Amino acid sequence: MNKLRLTITFVIFLATLAIYTASPITAHTDSIWSLYLSTSLIRTGNFNLDEYSGLIPPDDYRTEHLNGHIYSFYPIGTPLMAAPVVYILDHLPLFNGVNLSSFLASRPPGIDVWRVEKFVASTIVALNAMVVFALALQYLNVFKSVILTMIFALATPAWSTASRGLWQHGPSMLCLSIALYLVLLAKRKPALSPLVALPLVLSYVVRPTNIISIAIFTLYIFVVHRRYFWQYVLCLIIFFAPFLIYNYSIYQQVLPSYYMPQLLGNLDPKALVGTIISPSRGLVIFAPIFLLSFYGAFRRLIHAGKLWFQEIDIYLVGILILHWLVISASPAWYGGWSVGPRYFTDMVPYLTFFLIPILEISTPSPENKVIHKIGIPVFICLAAFSIFVNYRCSTNIGPMQWNGKPNDIDSNQYRLWDWTDIQFLRNLCPGDGYQAPKCWFYATNATAPLRSPSLSFVSSYNATIFIQRSRH
């Protein structure tokens, strides 16, 4: 049986990687220098971009100049986690006999670079799918674990956002998934609990909002594994030290400016609602399968009874709520030029975890006969629609072009609430119309065509180059 599970795990990785790599849409906004930074790390051993100074515009918002060097404005965690994959690729003749580092040295970001970046990002998320499968096996049989893993991989922003480029979200999800998996293993082997510190610290190096997970997981270990708590704290200190030392050597402070709280604003009620149900940014619009996660969390808390504080579930609910509040306090809560609920992408592993109770009750019994009869069709419909949404956003240029047509989303945020022009429906209008579902009900469309009919599916790579400022 162990051999079967290992085989299925490997097949999941290959299948997920193949789907992600074959999906043509790439992200090239904030992540544009991530691949270059990974290459710089493996070739020069440092995190500056000096060797690419001739390729980087002096006013590029994604970089900053410090002490005579060029650094990425964004955290170093993503290039660091991508480095092993980049190292392997750098030893392959990808570009007519030229290796990756030599190719990047003379080429500004373009379609070939974006494809490599997408492959690296896809590899990270495919590895995450393997962790989700291993996590699911703690509760479900092999068949249901595969179903849960495929939902994670294809019905969520793991496909439409994290795998499209080297954002922070893919590595962030992987770190949090590993941390959750270790926590579950520690229920049987408490001595493993100090090891949770490593993926948690790395998640913070990738993305500062993961400080929430660090705080809540630390509370959990204090409550549940108090015997090993000080070992866990010692591991946190040891793993954090290199990051803090590095920051001080570059910024003369323990944290870079990207980690400072001034990037947040006041909590916006509109953002609280928008991150959940905005037609073009809402979590349950782009992944309606997660509507069932709320019910799954409720079931787990009810079953925990008075011992809820001994189970990880209430702590994960706390993380989800605090994360929701933090991203809603961001002035750019909608994620800038992106697709769907980008800022919620980091929480996909936790939300997927709360689908486990739904699959647990999918076997009929006298206690859940009614739930089973109603729930299975609902589950299938929500999963199918979620896959459709994320498929469109990963294979059609229209949803990304939505950010700029008919006008810039950063300057016209009213469009986030326009139910007549939903992002994931772009390019589903007949003729030259592009605002769907509006075009389905009106014979004429008030706006100009988004793209020429002569543009082929493959050439959509070059249809638009997105270099808008997001900085989050």
Q: How confident is the model at residue 308 (pLDDT cuts 50, 70, 90)?
A: confident
* The pLDDT value given to residue 459: 33
Q: What are the tens digits of pLDDT across the range 418-430?
A: 999 999 999 998 8
Q: How confident is the model at residue 469 (pLDDT cuts 50, 70, 90)?
A: very low
Least confident stretch, 318-322, 332-336, 385-389: 332-336
The rounded percent of the chain whose pLDDT value lies above 90 is 75
Q: Who has greater pLDDT, 471 or 319?
A: 319
Q: How confident is the model at residue 375 (pLDDT cuts 50, 70, 90)?
A: confident
Mean pLDDT of the chain: 89
* Cis upstream peptide for 437 (omega within 30°): yes
Q: How confident is the model at residue 352 (pLDDT cuts 50, 70, 90)?
A: very high
- The mean pLDDT of 276-304, rounded to a whole number, is 94
Highest mean pLDDT among 54-58, 246-250, 390-394: 390-394
- The mean pLDDT of 88-93, rounded to a whole number, is 91
Is a pLDDT exceeding 90 seen at residue 162? yes
Is a pLDDT exceeding 80 seen at residue 398? yes
* The pLDDT value given to residue 94: 82
Is a pLDDT exceeding 50 seen at residue 240? yes
* The pLDDT value given to residue 453: 32
* The pLDDT value given to residue 175: 98
- The mean pLDDT of 286-312, rounded to a whole number, is 90
SS3 of the chain: the string is: CHHHHHHHHHHHHHHHHHHHHHCCCCCCCCCCCHHHHHHHHHHHCCCECHHHCCCCCCCCCCEEEECCEEEECCCCHHHHHHHHHHHHHHCCCCECCECHHHHHHHCCCCHHHHHHHHHHHHHHHHHHHHHHHHHHCCCCCHHHHHHHHHHHHHCCHHHHHHCCCCCCHHHHHHHHHHHHHHHHHHCCCHHHHHHHHHHHHHHHHHCHHHHHHHHHHHHHHHHHCHHHHHHHHHHHHHHHHHHHHHHHHHHCCCCCHHHCHHHCCCCCHHHHHHHHHCCCCCHHHHCHHHHHHHHHHHHHHHHHHHHHHHCCHHHHHHHHHHHHHHHHCCCCCCCCCCCCCHHHHHHHHHHHHCCHHHHHCCCCCCCCHHHHHHHHHHHHHHHHHHHHHHHHHHHCCHHHHCCCCCCCCCCCHHHHHCCCECHHHCCCCCCCCCCCEHHHHCCCCCCCCCCCCCCCCHHHHHCCCCCCCCCC
Q: What is the pTM of this model?
A: 0.92
> What is the C-alpha separation between 234 and 197, in angstroms, rounded?
9
